[in-house]
Amino acid sequence: MLKLDKLTKVYKTGDKALSDVTLKIPGGQIIALIGPSGAGKSTLIRCINRLVEPTSGSVTLDGTEITTLGSGALRRMRRRMGMIFQEYALVERLTVMENVLSGRLGYVGFWRSFLRKFPQSDIDEAYRLLDRVGLLHMADKRADELSGGQRQRVGIARALIQDPALLLVDEPTASLDPKTSRQIMRLITELCAERGLAAIVNIHDVSLAQMFVQRVVALNLGHVIFDGGPADLTPEVLTDIYGEEDWEATIAKVEDEEEET
């Protein structure tokens, strides 16, 4: 169970990226976080694992308050939160296997990780995950040799090998073509269901969100302005979130696509 209570972030420039965001996400639930660019979506998920320090408010994961942790305890807490990035954020010059194993860095000491002497159980798990995401044959390739969709699969494996309770997913499909986007979203939602993970998925593509998640939260200017099921996203609601536009096409398209699949 992840709880955000009055989470607020004010940047040094005075921009208020989040104001009093209060959310509850039970274990196993996936939410899609939508909203226009600059609404604070990325800031919100970075405030949860404190890549960005929140200004005030609290974040609680399974009863542990994260915002007040010292650096050692924060590192142990970050192991419980896997993160997946828009541009994959793989270390390009390391191999696929090294990238996946880097998800275990929080569990092994410096010299073991430096010499790449990971425990056998970690290596077994890495192979299992690579097999699960369909990249077993790519294990020894360098990350920069992979295509966008393949890289994102490695990014997913890296997040999952942490054995997290929560996935923080930042625009996982923004750099991918429509078909790969769906495959990636399907993979993420399947894996979350298999492992009972909660997830926050930042996403631009409203129809894609409607296709794959049961709960949608919308941010605008740092405020939560919508929290409901995918079917509740009517043209009026989308106008509230993004501004005036003809939304019928977006929503109609979703329904067509759902019939196809």
Q: Which residues bind another protein (CB under 8 A)?
A: 49, 51, 75-79, 81-83, 85, 87, 89-94, 98, 102-107, 110, 113-114, 155, 158, 162, 168
- Complex with another protein: residue 88 or 247, whichever CB lies closer: 88
At residue 216, the 3 state secondary structure works out as strand
Neighbours of 106 (CB within 10 A): 15
Question: Cβ 163 to another protein, closest distance in Å?
Answer: 11
Question: Cβ 18 to another protein, closest distance in Å?
Answer: 18
- Complex with another protein: residue 63 or 110, whichever CB lies closer: 110
* Cα–Cα distance for residue pair 81/137, rounded to 1 Å: 27
Phi-psi region of 172 (alpha: psi -120 to 50; beta: other; left: phi over 0): alpha
At residue 78, the 3 state secondary structure works out as helix
**What are the structure tokens assigned to 34, written together?**
């939508």
Question: Cβ 93 to another protein, closest distance in Å?
Answer: 4
Question: What is the torsion angle, in degrees rounded to the nearest 10, for the CA atoms of residue 241, residue 242, residue 244 and residue 248?
Answer: -80
Question: Cβ 115 to another protein, closest distance in Å?
Answer: 10
- Complex with another protein: residue 91 or 252, whichever CB lies closer: 91
- Complex with another protein: residue 29 or 49, whichever CB lies closer: 49
**What are the structure tokens assigned to 179, written together?**
């078909």
Closest to 3 (Cα-Cα) out of 60, 55, 86: 60
- Complex with another protein: residue 199 or 211, whichever CB lies closer: 199
Question: Cβ 89 to another protein, closest distance in Å?
Answer: 4
